[in-house]
Structure 1
Amino acid sequence: MSEPMQGANRPWKTAILAGMASYLDAAALVTSGIAIGGSYAGALGLSAGTIGALLGVQTLMFAAGALVGGRLGDRFGRRMVFSLSLVLYAVGVALLLIAAAPVLLYAGVVAVGFAIGADLPVSLALINEEAPPGKKGKLVVFSNMLWLAGIVAVVVLSSIVGSWGVLGGRIMFAHLLAVSVIVLLLRMTLRESAEWATARRVADEGSVAAERIHFSRVGQLFRPPVLFAVVATGLYYATWNLGASTLGSFGTYLWTTLTGGGVAQFSQLTLLGLPVGFVAGLIFMRAIDRPSRHGWFVAGSVLILVAWALPALFGPSRFTLVAVLLVSGLGNAFAGESIYKVWSQELVPTLLRSTSSGVTMAFTRVIAGLAAFGTPALAAANPRLLFWLLFGFTLLATVIGLFWVPRLPKATDLERVPVDVPHDTPKAAA
Structure 2
Amino acid sequence: MSNDAIVSGSPEQPRVTRAQWRLAVLSGMASYLDSGIIVSSGVALGLWQDRFHLSSWGLGALSAALTFSIAVGSLIGGRLADRFGRRRVYGIDILVYAVGAALLVVAPNSTFLFAGMIIGGLAAGADLPTSLAMVSEHSPRSVRGRLIGATQTMWVAGIAVAILVGFATSTLGYLSAQILFAHLAVVAVVSWILRNRMRLSPVPEEAERGGGAEGIDAKALRRLGSRPILVPLLATGGFYLAWNLAANTMGQYGTYFLTTVSGASQTLATGLSLATLPLGLACSLVFVRLADTPWRDRLFYVCAALQVLAFAVAAATGGAVIAAMIFFLLLYNVVNQFAGEASYKIWSQEAFPGELRATTQGLTYGASRALCGLAGLATPALMHASGSVVLWLSTLCVAVSGLIGVMIVRRIAPQGAGVAGRDAGLARQKEVIR
TM-score by length of 1: 0.84
Aligned length: 398
Q: Would you say the 8 A contact 1:23–1:146 is kept in 2? A: yes
- For residue 219 of structure 1, report the CA deviation from its aligned partner: 1.0
Which amino acid in 2 is paired with 1:53?
Answer: A
1:397, distance to aligned residue in structure 2 (A): 0.6
Task: Pick from 33, 36, 49 the counterpart of residue 27 of structure 1.
Answer: 36
Query: Which whole-Å deviations, capped at 9, do the CAs of 1:84-129 have from their partners, x for residues lacking one?
Result: 2112211212222234543333222211211111001010011122
In structure 2, runs of 5+ residues without a counterpart are 1-15, 416-426, 428-434
Specify the alignment match of 2:422 in structure 1. Answer: none
* Equivalent residues of 1:59, 1:113 under 8 A apart: yes
- Contact 1:85–1:115 (8 Å) recurs in 2: yes
Matched, 1:298 2:308: no
| Alignment pair present for 1:11 and 2:20 | yes
Residues 163-193 of structure 1: per-residue CA shift (max 9 Å, x gap): 5543322222222112111111111112355
Tell me which residue corresponds to 2:318: 315
Give the corresponding residue for 1:63: 71
User: Which amino acid letter does the alignment assign opposite residue 253 of structure 2?
Assistant: F
Which of 151, 159, 168 is equivalent to 2:167? 159
Identity %: 37
Root-mean-square deviation (CA, aligned residues, Å) is 2.9
- For residues 178 and 260 of structure 1, do their structure 2 counterparts lie closer, same or farther at Cα, with a shift above 3 Å needed? farther
AA in 1 matched with 2:399: L
2:395 maps to 1:402: no
Distance in 2 (alpha carbons) for counterparts of 1:250 and 1:96:
23
1:20-419 matches, cutoff 5 A: 20-36=29-45, 38-99=46-107, 101-162=109-170, 164-194=172-202, 199=210, 217-258=220-261, 266-317=269-320, 318-408=322-412
More displaced 10-residue stretch of structure 1: 183-192 or 311-320: 311-320
How far the C-alpha of 1:255 sits from its partner, in A, is 4.1
Q: Which amino acid aligns with 2:110?
A: P
The 2-side partners of 1:232 and 1:238 are apart by 10
How far off its partner does 1:46 sit?
4.1
Amino acid at match of 1:71: R
Shift of the alpha carbon at 1:259?
A: 5.3
Quick check: 1:237–1:360 contact (8 Å CA) kept in 2?
A: yes
Counterpart Cα distance in 1 of 2:313 and 2:406? 23
* Closer/same/farther in 2, CA of residues 163 and 375 from structure 1, 3 Å limit: farther
Tell me by how many angstroms 1:321 deviates.
4.4
Letter in 2 for 1:177: A
Judge conservation of contact 2:304–2:339 (CA < 8 Å) in 1: yes
SS at match of 2:248: helix
Distance 1:294 1:52, change over 3 A: same
Q: Mean Cα displacement is larger for which, 293-302 or 361-370?
A: 293-302
Q: Aligned in 2, Cα 1:361/1:205: closer, same or farther, shift over 3 Å?
A: closer
User: Structure 1 residue 21: deviation in Å?
Assistant: 0.7
The verdict on how the C-alpha distance between 1:13 and 1:166 changes in structure 2, with shifts beyond 3 A counting, is: same
The answer to whether the 8 Å contact 2:82/2:215 transfers is no
- More displaced 10-residue stretch of structure 1: 313-322 or 55-64: 313-322
CA contact (8 A) 2:318 2:387 kept: yes
> Which residue in the other structure is 1:209 paired with?
none
Amino acid of the residue matched to residue 170 of structure 1?
Answer: Q
Q: How far, CA to CA, are the matches of 1:104 and 1:255 in structure 2?
A: 32
Q: Deviating runs (4+, > 6 A) in structure 1?
A: 200-206
AA aligned to 1:339 is: S
Alignment check: 8 A CA contact 1:155 1:270 kept = no
Work out whether residues 272 and 326 of structure 1, in 8 Å CA contact, stay in contact via their aligned partners in 2.
no
CA distance in 2, matches of 1:39, 1:179: 22
Tell me the distance in 2 between the aligned counterparts of 1:395 and 1:47.
Answer: 37
CA shift, 1:77, in A, is 1.8
Q: Which amino acid aligns with 2:92?
A: L
**What secondary structure, in the 3-state scheme, does the structure 1 residue paired with 2:141 have?**
coil
Equivalent AA in structure 1 for residue 336 of structure 2: N
| Shift of residue 403, structure 1, vs aligned partner | 2.6
Taking the aligned partners of 2:258 and 2:250, their CA distance within structure 1 comes to: 10
Between 178-187 and 232-241, the greater mean CA deviation after superposition: 178-187
**Given the superposition, is the C-alpha separation of residues 205 and 133 from structure 1 closer, same or farther in structure 2, using an over 3 Å criterion?**
closer
SS of the residue corresponding to residue 348 of structure 1 reads coil
Q: Report deviation, 1:27.
A: 1.2
Alpha-carbon offset, residue 151 of structure 1: 1.2
The alpha-carbon deviation at position 257 of structure 1 amounts to 4.2
Partners of 2:138 and 2:212 in 1: how far apart? 17
Q: Distance in 1 between matches of 2:31 and 2:47?
A: 24
